[in-house]
């Protein structure tokens, strides 16, 4: 189901917090970038997860230097998520995760061996409905998404070549769509010779409609954590070819609201000093990535206003500027 593109959506223009309207959601924040920090902030949103739990990660290309440290995730799984499965889908582009066989070899190389990993489109696809979509009435997902009762969306927040930035919405919008049909629906105009021809506002809208299908499927049983560490302007799908990281590390966010968490992360980037934010802001705005946020709001996926809770300081309410007030120039900690 295709409709005409909406003009003037301004995905390259940042809307300051005080110019937004609507209800507020809760976003939790810690500066503690460690396995302990991840476990601590997880506890704030853990109660919504029950039954068979999927952990949606971007597990990265071989030897990818910027993905969430495996030791952090292993600690979380062993202490709090025993029996949960990491879930992924195969890629649209030909590479080390294009087929299930290659994908499983890449998972071994990158150390994702401490928990079962379900490549959800290994055995086929399923169509999930997209409610009130402009571009779609359904999205084709990896069939095994139906095997889970709840989902933890555990995301490495970073830049993205096509999307401007990759947060929770990109993680599930692209990452749950199957590698052949669903991802083609998002990226490619049927009949085009360019598999990446859909860009800017239209791409963001298609990706967000896919994310909405996942959010609607799980209802209240989906939660979100974004790790703002090693934030290259490149996605983890670029592996060793990713651009050098120049944006300072920030911390970890958690929320029950997909729009609020991605908006809070973007707000933290824009709240940095110019010298620290320049590369990532340029990547976000040049790709019109901010349309991800405005379209999620139009789709009723959450709130772009939020209360930011500093769990390091007795749940003090802070703003994005305060969250990044102590950041330091990026240094690779070498943690894997």
pLDDT of residue 4: 36
Q: Is residue 140 part of a domain?
A: yes
Q: Is residue 6 part of a domain?
A: no
* Residue 148 in this model has a pLDDT that exceeds 60: yes
Task: Give the DSSP letter string of 73-104.
Answer: HHHHHHHH-TT-EEEE---SSSSTTSSHHHHH
C-alpha dist (Å) from residue 31 to 63, 72, 223, 241, 333: 26, 15, 19, 28, 15
- Residue 206: how many CA atoms within 13 Å on its side-chain side? 27
Distance of alpha carbon 90 from alpha carbon 336, whole angstroms? 23
Q: Is residue 41 part of a domain?
A: yes
| Residue whose structure tokens are 């979380």 | 76
At CA 232, angle to CA 323 and CA 74, rounded to 5?
A: 75
Distance of alpha carbon 167 from alpha carbon 179, whole angstroms? 19
Q: Is residue 46 part of a domain?
A: yes
Question: Chain-wide mean pLDDT for the chain?
Answer: 94
Q: Is residue 269 part of a domain?
A: yes
Distance of alpha carbon 122 from alpha carbon 142, whole angstroms? 7
C-alpha dist (Å) from residue 232 to 109, 135, 164: 21, 30, 11
Distance of alpha carbon 1 from alpha carbon 147, whole angstroms? 27
pLDDT of residue 7: 37
Segment 75-97 mean pLDDT: 96
SS3 63: coil
Q: Is residue 99 part of a domain?
A: yes
* Strands 150-156 and 24-30, sheet pairing: unpaired
Residue-number span of the structural domain to which 94 is assigned:
25-323
Q: Is residue 330 part of a domain?
A: no
Could you read off the pLDDT of 99-120 as tens digits, one per residue? 999 999 999 999 999 999 999 9
Q: Is residue 20 part of a domain?
A: no
Res. 2 pLDDT band, cuts 50 70 90: very low
Distance of alpha carbon 336 from alpha carbon 333, whole angstroms? 9
- How many domains in the chain? 1
């Amino acid at each position: 189901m295709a409709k005409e593109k909406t003009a003037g959506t301004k995905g390259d223009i940042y809307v300051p917090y005080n110019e937004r309207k609507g209800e507020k959601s809760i976003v939790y924040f810690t500066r503690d970038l460690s396995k302990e920090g991840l476990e601590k902030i997880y506890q704030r949103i853990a109660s919504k997860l029950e039954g068979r739990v999927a952990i949606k990660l971007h597990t990265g290309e071989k030897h990818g230097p910027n993905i969430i440290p495996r030791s952090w995730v292993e600690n979380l799984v062993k202490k709090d998520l025993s029996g949960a499965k990491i879930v992924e889908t195969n890629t649209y582009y030909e590479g080390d995760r294009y087929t299930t066989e290659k994908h499983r070899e890449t998972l071994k190389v990158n150390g994702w061996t401490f928990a079962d990993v379900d490549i959800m489109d290994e055995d086929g696809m399923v169509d999930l409905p997209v409610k009130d979509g402009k571009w779609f009435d359904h999205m084709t997902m990896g069939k095994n998404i139906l095997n889970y009762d709840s989902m933890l969306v555990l995301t490495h927040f970073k830049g993205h070549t096509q999307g401007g930035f990759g947060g929770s919405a990109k993680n599930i919008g692209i990452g749950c769509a199957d590698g052949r049909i669903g991802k083609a629906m998002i990226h490619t105009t049927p009949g085009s010779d360019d598999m990446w021809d859909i860009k800017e506002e239209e791409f963001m809208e298609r990706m967000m409609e896919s994310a909405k299908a996942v959010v609607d499927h799980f209802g209240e049983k989906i939660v979100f954590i974004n790790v703002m560490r090693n934030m290259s302007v490149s996605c983890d799908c670029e592996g060793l070819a990713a651009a050098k990281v120049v944006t300072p590390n920030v911390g970890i966010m958690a929320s029950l609201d997909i729009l609020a968490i991605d908006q809070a992360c973007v707000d933290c980037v824009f709240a940095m000093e110019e010298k620290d934010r320049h590369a990532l802001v340029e990547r976000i705005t040049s790709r019109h990535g901010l349309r991800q946020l405005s379209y999620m709001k139009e789709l009723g996926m959450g709130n772009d206003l939020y209360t930011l809770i500093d769990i390091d300081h007795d749940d003090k309410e802070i703003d994005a500027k305060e969250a990044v007030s102590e950041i330091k120039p990026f240094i690779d900690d070498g943690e894997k």
